[in-house]
Structure 1
């Protein structure tokens, strides 16, 4: 690394606002010992509570992180605090200690072994009989789900708020057995709906969307190619990343990293990183996954802009993508947003192509915080158009804006807009 990052780039790595705030509290030289850095890494030891001393290290080439603390966040507050010290220029160059050198070398060796073991696409091609067997199992599983959905509607929704969790979990387990894992997750998620306001309408809507997906899969041979790929993906069929890189739609642009969010389910943590093309205005979603003890991809930093070519997964509304090739290092940058009406038009067009979209990225310009008569939070643009916000604590956003306009990015879902990051002409990028 020839240049050190600035503080906004470091804080753009934070998995949430709480981590960014905590990192600022420990980014003090007096709390650290044996810090050092070179062109590829930065390391140090932080005094924790009691007698605990945590060793933190960052591999700057990806980046990747390691810390001996028990936190499940990647990067944790100690790694972020260390990087803040490095960004401020208070970490001096020096030789790597043994523990940091060992970790970095192990990472290099694992990457080399993985590359050597990785089979070619041809070697991984499945036996046609195996593919046929899975198709039959999925067909049978979806036929059973279709009957289950009709039964729920026929029996009425009145008792759904008192139904045990196993009503949905049993149906989801049968879909897992039928190798329709994508649908299993959607069915299991229905259990939370009866505990939300206005739940009967929403539950019926979700049942209808599931029935639409079942019928679409049953008639998949009649669908256009893009929609057929969308339906297969929603059911649980995956496309190998190598096929996406070699055969997927390629789009080169200067991609602004507008938001990142980590979610944990069971033992798997998923990171969603949202990008928006400066020239094309096109949204993109880059996913990464981590099991316990492994790190999430942290190479896309909120508040930066990267010249890259993305390869998009197939679908009627291509959104998920892989970074196929980069052209130069990331630089600080803020995205160009749209007014509320422009965002709603964009979202409506996406839903027309993929009616099962459960979230869509929003980047709004010149919006302010507001409350309605009932105290609910909204963002309002210069034209007076508004979107409801889904956030419990507005104070960080309010402190940034001071009641004035900002550019804000977040995830839109039927429950409202979840803010992820905001940009202010004086304060720069702030993770929300």
Structure 2
């Protein structure tokens, strides 16, 4: 039987708070029959409102879920309830029923076919690139023209002074971003549009000027891309908006197998898309990795990487001077509960400085602090303090959950280090285990 997850890890899979609450209502042994599990799966039949019980199964390796109920939520309350029972030790071992074995075999077959399709697609993509170089040349030319216009726009902003930007409408940045979209520089357009949200706080002109300087650096780097090392050129192209197909990453990207601890996760929603950032760190390599998934509003996101677990997997990294984003290329077993190895404040800052030297446009970096204690400054700002007495400012709109979990004791804290402080996303307590913030 695979190591059982705790309740926090199970409820972390819920698509919303209502599903998590409903799962507790069905996580009762008297509601279930035919439950069982092994190293790869958990299953059971849950009594519902109809005549027939719902057949529920969970593939622990992904995890993936199947339930015969009509719910459109994923995972549904029955799958979560079954995992809660399993977490509490209420599900024993046993042989897989035919309906469970058939589902898992179908999943294995689909995974193999998907792998074959990716290999075929990668081959076709390379063939297409060799046949239509003029399309790529036109794209490069349009992007170049768009960045030349942005360069002039940045010069104008600085020449006219930043004072006018304080009362400028969002249209100032939206119009510049729209022109970059037309020039097919989508990633850069997003960065320009985000400038409208720079907080109008004391010192904001300096922050805005720094953002303008980074944009100008990116423009100049793209204009001189032929003089850059290959890895840095890949980073510049990505920051501008040139994408790399997943098939190319899986076929040509750097591969690294390790036992990857899932340290933190954060969902960011916009009008068009919800993005999930999942941060990993290799046990043996100590290397950080970022796995992204996307979904339209209201649609489920990939829930296969659960904070507080570790998975033996091979990652394929996107190209760049500071390779960080990755795809899970292959898994080697089911995830298991794990506590990440934390470091000191100095180690976090040194690692971030080295990464920033390779990629000056990094806006966040994964951090895991060991034995951190929480404290307040005289100005009322929350900080985390390590054993050496060094501190990092914390970003926490609602710090009370974090304060309650720590209780004044040292904890392992994971999150995203940003220019405005450490955004805490998960905390590990000696007795409470992992708590998602």
Q: TM-score, normalised by structure 1?
A: 0.85
Conserved 8 A contact 1:145-1:171 = yes
Deviation at 1:358, TM superposition (A): 0.6
Report the equivalent of 2:179: 174
Q: 1:152 aligns with which of 157, 172, 178?
A: 157
Figure out how many residues of one structure are paired with residues of the other and give that number. 419
Conserved 8 A contact 1:56-1:79 = no
Report the equivalent of 1:370: 375
Report the equivalent of 2:51: none
Q: CA-to-partner distance for each residue in 1:106-136, whole Å, 9 max, x for gaps? A: 9899878866765522312331111111011
State the secondary structure of the residue aligned to 1:316: coil
More displaced stretch, 394-403 vs 233-242:
394-403
Residue 10 in 1 paired to residue 9 in 2? yes
Residue 193 in 1 paired to residue 191 in 2? no
Deviation at 1:43, TM superposition (A): 7.6
Report the equivalent of 1:353: 358
In structure 2, distance between residues paired with 1:235 and 1:305: 33
Report the equivalent of 1:62: 62
State the secondary structure of the residue aligned to 2:340: coil
Conserved 8 A contact 2:262-2:280 = yes
Equivalent residues in 2 for 1:30-49, closer than 5 Å: none
State the secondary structure of the residue aligned to 2:163: coil
Deviation at 1:140, TM superposition (A): 0.7
Deviation at 1:11, TM superposition (A): 3.7
| Residue 110 to residue 312, structure 1, CA distance change in 2 (3 Å) | closer
Report the equivalent of 1:121: 122
Residue 313 in 1 paired to residue 315 in 2? no
Residue 304 in 1 paired to residue 309 in 2? yes
Q: 2:294 aligns with which of 289, 292, 298?
A: 289
| Residue 165 to residue 319, structure 1, CA distance change in 2 (3 Å) | same
Question: What is the alpha-carbon root mean square deviation over aligned residues?
Answer: 3.5
In structure 1, distance between residues paired with 2:389 and 2:160: 44
In structure 2, distance between residues paired with 1:117 and 1:246: 12
Report the equivalent of 1:50: none
Residue 404 in 1 paired to residue 409 in 2? yes
| Residue 244 to residue 391, structure 1, CA distance change in 2 (3 Å) | same
Q: CA-to-partner distance for each residue in 1:329-361, whole Å, 9 max, x for gaps? A: 221111111110111111111111111001000
Equivalent residues in 2 for 1:230-245, closer than 5 Å: 230-245=235-250
In structure 2, distance between residues paired with 1:196 and 1:11: 40
More displaced stretch, 150-159 vs 195-204:
195-204
In structure 2, distance between residues paired with 1:246 and 1:361: 26
Deviation at 1:255, TM superposition (A): 1.2
Conserved 8 A contact 2:264-2:278 = yes
Report the equivalent of 2:224: 219
Q: 1:28 aligns with which of 25, 48, 59?
A: 25
Q: TM-score, normalised by structure 2?
A: 0.84
In structure 2, distance between residues paired with 1:110 and 1:156: 58
In structure 1, distance between residues paired with 2:113 and 2:343: 45
Report the equivalent of 1:51: none
Conserved 8 A contact 1:250-1:310 = yes
Conserved 8 A contact 1:160-1:194 = no
Structure 2: stretches of 5+ with no match in the other structure: 49-53
